[in-house]
Amino acid sequence: MRKIYRRVAFVALFFILLSVQSTLAALPFNIQSESVVLMEVSSGEILVEKNSNKPLPPASVTKMMVMLLAMEAIDRGEIKLNDKVIASPEACRMGGSQIWLEPGEEMTVEDLMKAVGIVSANDASVALAEYISGSHEEFVKLMNNHAQELGLKNTVYVNATGLSPDGGGPGNMTSAYDQAILARELLKHPTVLKWTGTWIDSLRGGESFLRNTNNLVRFYDGCDGLKTGYTSEAGYCLVATAKRNGVRLIAVVMKAPTSPVRNNEITKLFNYGFSQFKALKVLSAGQVIGKTKVMKGRTNEVNLIMPEDLLVVLKRDTQTTPEVLAKIPAKVRAPLAQGTPVGEVIVKIDGETKVTAPLVTEAAVEESGFFRFLWQITKNMLEGFFH
């Protein structure tokens, strides 16, 4: 009986080792970091991964969730970038990277976001958390709820900084895959790139110097974010994003042994990803795609155009011609401002939807008076009768 168990155990071990070897063999280059992910943003496709779902401490990468919740609160109108935040003693006692907030000091939401995005300031992060939710503890609940909503299965937060908890105990945990998903969500708010993509800035009227903790913002063409992290437990972490020729990538490195290794491996991931994809312009900004009838308008119809260039990101070896479909309502009602979203364009490759983008009105259409509206109705009835 023991021989049977030994054989079963040996076979199981063999397949486990085979699985590990095949995973490592799939990597196009050597990776020293504990966990990595490379994602193409438009599709969410994972190009490269190693231990991508392994739970690991994120250190200051934690602050991506802080930035996301802040941007969502701004979008909902709950807070504004020019709101003044008064620093609490709790926020000011945070160690590690900081901007040395003093209790009672006022700073705008925008400056606190700048401090979080550029120098990963722990005191600024907690000040934002308290301003958004009333307390650090309530904000952490919000972080965990949103992690569940986004499907981040290996992510748990205990604070808004990524520092080890006071008094010990388990700290924040996440995975490289979860952080790629979170980064993709954060990129829906491109304002953050204004901060995370800045190399050098200042606060307090130039008195406080800020230099980005992400060296790739300066040294890698196209890199404009997102978040670094380091503790002795977490090692060197970085969630980076870069855009070249219309292609945007997210690269995640967790628990790299050194900062140079972290930067080198992000660079490898980016170089590989940009070699695999191309961006094809399907439609041009301002291009008229169709028109629709306008009810109660001073004009009877309005052109619908592309508000910006429409790109589709494809594998470089793709030869298929994109299929473009326009969904346009039969009629809309005035008044309409210029640039009002009306309908949409869908781009498909081999039957699969790749991009969906809005169509907008080319010009404003004012609402007509009663008699003009009555004449439009009469005219339409007459045209229908004689046709």
CA 211 to CA 112: how far, in whole Å?
A: 15
User: Is 63 labeled as catalytic in the residue annotation?
Assistant: yes
Tokens representing 324 are: 């473009």
Find, among 274, 262, 268, the residue nearest to 35 by Cα: 262
63-75 and 136-149 helices, crossing angle to 10°: 90
- Rounded to whole angstroms, the Cα distance separating 223 from 193 reads 10
> Across the strands, what pairs with 161?
none
Catalytic annotation present for 368:
no
Residue 249, C-beta contacts closer than 8 angstroms, at least 6 positions apart: 38, 39, 40, 41, 241, 242, 243, 269, 270, 273, 274
Give, in order, the Cα–Cα distances in Å from 29 to each of 25, 34, 50, 207, 270: 9, 14, 11, 44, 12
Identify whether the C-beta of residue 227 lies closer than 8 Å to the C-beta of residue 60. Answer: yes
Catalytic option among 33, 42, 63, 133: 63
Q: Which of these is catalytic: 33, 42, 52, 120?
A: 120
Structural contact between residues 310 and 355, judged by C-beta atoms closer than 8 angstroms: yes
Torsion sign, CA atoms 175, 180, 183, 184? negative
Instruction: Please confirm, yes or no, whether 120 is among the known catalytic residues.
Output: yes
Q: Is 205 left (phi over 0), alpha (psi -120 to 50) or beta?
A: left
Q: Reply yes or no: is the peptide bond before residue 57 cis, omega within 30 of 0.
A: no
Catalytic, out of 33, 35, 60, 88: 60
Rounded Cα–Cα distance for residues 20 and 50 (Å) = 10
Q: Please give the Cα distance from 172 to 174 (Å, whole number).
A: 7
Positive or negative torsion for Cα 105, 107, 112, 115: negative
Active-site positions? 60, 63, 120
